[in-house]
Each structure stands twice: as structure tokens, then as C-alpha cells.
Structure 1
Amino acid sequence: MTDLHEITHPYTPGAEHGPDSLLLVWDAPNLDMGLGAILGGRPTAAYRPRFDAVGRWLIDRAQKLSDTAGQKIEPEATVFTNVTPGGADVVRPWVEALRNVGFAVFAKPKSDEDSDVDPDMIAHIRRRWDEGVLKGVVVASADGQNFQAILEELVTSGIPGTVIGFHEHASWAVASESIDFVDLEDIPGVFREPLPRINLDHLPEEGAWLQPFRPLTALLHNTRQQ
């Protein structure tokens, strides 16, 4: 079995193409936002995803894809994240832990609202696709909406696409007939404690609070852009 420390072969400009891969791209800012919306606040240690569990899930997925394709397909995992000004010391232990598990990390300064990592994730997917090594792609994002177009393009070309997210936010992926959807909480061992999720179809008798997806002050930013 592939070791967790061998699940990534990060892209290096000018390097030869790597092996055929099942590529996981993890949108850390978006997943954090989705998780925070479910929890109603910043996640504690009990509610932070265990990347060793995600790595084992990806290894198993790559093995099944290899068996189906009749060829060796390696798992490759990259976490994409932003680093706010002055926040390097806070993020550094997390980044080092990810790299120690076997994930590559793409870190980008969070200088303004337009410095999201989504374009970098899509560029990495296309790079692997252009190299001819992409045999499957998994996008981890709370809603995955920004990746719908490229995933549908990949699926049309015969490359399977999967979204890891939260079913509360990714209804388009849940309903898709061509794209697989995996709820993050359904990956074995990914959370130490069950998420306190609220289902409108099965509300507790005493009722439940549904927290906003974003601060009300975000309206001020939208107003300035109009």
C-alpha cells in the first residue's frame, strides 16, 4: 500500500511530468467558511478535519481507480490556502503538519478580496490535464460552485470528477448525475466529533439556530463594488 508520505508529487516548473494521478485539490478558505457556518463559529480542534484520514481515503480511491483502469494511478494531494498579513506564525504549524502527512501546500498572500486561491486551483488542474497525467480529480470545497465548469469539462472528456464538501452548501453537486459527491463528514475518521448539523427536514422540537454564511458587514463590500 502507498504510504501517506508518498501521496504527493508537487508540480515543479521545468520538471518532467509525473506519474498518472488522481488529483485532490483542497480549497482551505472555502472549506473553513463552510465548516464555520455549520458550527456557528470558528472550528475547535475537535471539528478540524484530520488530513491523515483524508489521505487514506484518497489512497484507497486511487487504488480502486487503478484496478478499474488496469494501470497504476498515484494519489496526489495539494492544499491551497491564503496567508493574511502578519498571520504566517499562526499558519506555519498547520502547513508543516500538512507537508509532514504528505500533502503539498500552495500558499498565497491574502492581500485583497481578489486574491482567492480558486484560479490557482483551476490552473493546477488544467496543468495536470495538459500534461496528460490526470486520470481523476477531486475538488474539496464547501460548495464547489466555482469548479463546476471545469469538472463538467473533465467528465465530458472521460476523466471522473468528484466534489468533497457539505451537502448543505453543494446542492448542485449532490444532484449532479455526472459528478460524484462525497460529504466531508462521511470520510471515515475525518472528524473527532460528529458535526452539529441542522437538517430542516428533521428539526429538534425546541427549534434550532441557523447561523449566517457570512458577516452582515459583507454587504458593505458588495455595495462599494456596485
Structure 2
Amino acid sequence: MSDLHESTHHYGAQETPGPANLLLVWDAPNLDMGLGAILGGRPTAAYRPRFDAIGRWLLARAGKLSHDTGSRVEAEATVFTNVTPGGADVVRPWVEALRNVGFAVFAKPKTDEDSDVDPDMLAHIRRRHAEGVLRGLVVASADGQNFKETIDELIAEGLPVTVLGFHEHASWAVGSDTIDFVDLEEITGVFREPLPRISLDQLPDEGAWLQPFRPLSALLAGRNH
């Protein structure tokens, strides 16, 4: 059985099918990691993505899809995130701000390496597909390769799929003939300041530092398992 048609599990989403939608699934942990790799450290407020700008962009895409298909398509914006033990107070203002903008948030405790939100994102995509309401998909993830099989199946069915991310980490989508890739920095108003991006294709004459994607100490953590 294909990944797309596996049975879904329920985790508090609406029980009744909604209107035809353009679904955005935002992989917050993975995008944070990708953004941190570009910045060389934890993102500050100036480099945090503005979700009101993301929302306006998604609404415009849904409007265009409505025009192209001749039927009404609504935008459904969802963010998937982990909450580390003791971290609820830190995450709460961000979650409430997202919900205030109009995003649904799926939050999951981060208890170990196997508690990532990728399976929950895929389950939500499959659920909307099974309900027959999915008219388009936007996957926001720094690399997103865990979604490639599902993306390929949806495209084969004729559904438009867009990958949102950073071109440095998503060469599989950037080079695809069927996936519409959009770099987050291309969306108007998403970042207050330009990201300090370094490309091996466009290095400054004086050279540039490329920061590690993860701390060296992570090697020790992996050895303990």
C-alpha cells in the first residue's frame, strides 16, 4: 500500500471534512534547524519568519488556485512543532501568536529522537487527501525529503505541490521539474532583515566561513545510543 493511502491516526483535528483547501504544513523544528545553519546560531527576532506574511502569501496562492480551477479553494495553514520538557512557557507565546494569525498548531512532546513531527505531518496530509478536500499542498521544511514519496504521489494525481524552504538545503526540490520550489526569503515581508547567506557559487573574494549544521558534541550523543 502506498504511503499516501495508509490509514491515518487522529490527534484532535476537526472530525468533519472542511471545504476544498490548499494545505500548508510547516515543519517548525526542521526549519529552525535550517535557519540556524544559515545564521550560524540560534535565530534572533530579526531573523524569525513572520507568519502573517506567510499567511498572506498562502491566501494569494489559494485565490489563484480558485481562479485556475473555477471552484472555491480555501487556505488551511498548519504548523507542527515539538515541545521539549520544561519548555512550554517559552513556546506558549509563539504558539498563541500563530493561532491569533489563523494557523492551527499541532504540538508534540519532544521525548526522544523518534518523537519528530514528520509522521504527524504526513498523517494530516493523508487525512485531507482521504477526505477528498485536498486541492494543493505546500510543504515548508528545510530539507523535506521525508515527504518526497507523498509529494510524488500527489503530483502524479495532478495536484499542485509547492516546497517552501532554503535552496541551500533542498536541492532535490530546486532541481525538480514537477515541484514548485519557493525560497522563504523570496516571499515579501517574511524576514525583517536579509539573511546572511553564503553560497559556494558566489563566494566573496576574501572568502567566507561556513558554519556547522550541528555542534560537534552531537557525535558524543550519537555514540551513547
Q: Shorter-chain TM-score category?
A: over 0.9
Query: Does residue 164 in structure 1 map to residue 164 in structure 2?
Result: yes
Aligned to 1:155: 155
| Count of residues paired in the alignment | 215
Aligned to 1:184: 184
Instruction: Give 1:71-82 correspondences, 5 Å limit.
Output: 71-82=71-82
Instruction: Give 1:13-28 correspondences, 5 Å limit.
Output: 15-28=15-28
Deviations for 1:152-185, whole angstroms, at most 9, x for unmatched residues?
1110011111100000000000001111100000
CA drift of 1:214 comes to 1.3
Deviations for 1:186-209, whole angstroms, at most 9, x for unmatched residues?
011000000000011111122111
Query: Does residue 219 in structure 1 map to residue 207 in structure 2?
Result: no
Partner Cα distance (1:122, 1:13) in 2: 14
Structure 1: tracts of 5 or more residues without a match: 1-10
CA drift of 1:219 comes to 2.2
CA drift of 1:211 comes to 0.6
Query: Which letter maps to 1:217?
Result: S
SS for the counterpart of 2:135 is strand
TM-score if structure 1 supplies the norm length? 0.92
CA drift of 1:13 comes to 5.6
Aligned to 1:47: 47
Instruction: Give 1:56-135 correspondences, 5 Å limit.
Output: 56-135=56-135
Partner Cα distance (2:139, 2:12) in 1: 21
Partner Cα distance (1:62, 1:101) in 2: 17
Structure 2: tracts of 5 or more residues without a match: 1-10
SS for the counterpart of 1:75 is strand
Instruction: Give 1:204-215 correspondences, 5 Å limit.
Output: 204-215=204-215
Query: Which letter maps to 1:53?
Result: A
CA RMSD of aligned residues (A): 1.2
CA drift of 1:224 comes to 4.2
SS for the counterpart of 1:85 is coil
Change (3 A) 1:71 1:83: same
Change (3 A) 1:214 1:102: same
CA drift of 1:136 comes to 0.3
CA drift of 1:12 comes to 5.1
Identity of matched residues, %:
77
SS for the counterpart of 1:54 is helix
Partner Cα distance (2:114, 2:14) in 1: 28
Partner Cα distance (1:175, 1:219) in 2: 31
Deviations for 1:22-56, whole angstroms, at most 9, x for unmatched residues?
00000000000000000000011100000000000
Structure 1 stretch displaced more, 130-139 or 214-223: 214-223
CA drift of 1:76 comes to 0.2
Deviations for 1:110-162, whole angstroms, at most 9, x for unmatched residues?
00011000000000000000000000000000111111111011100111111
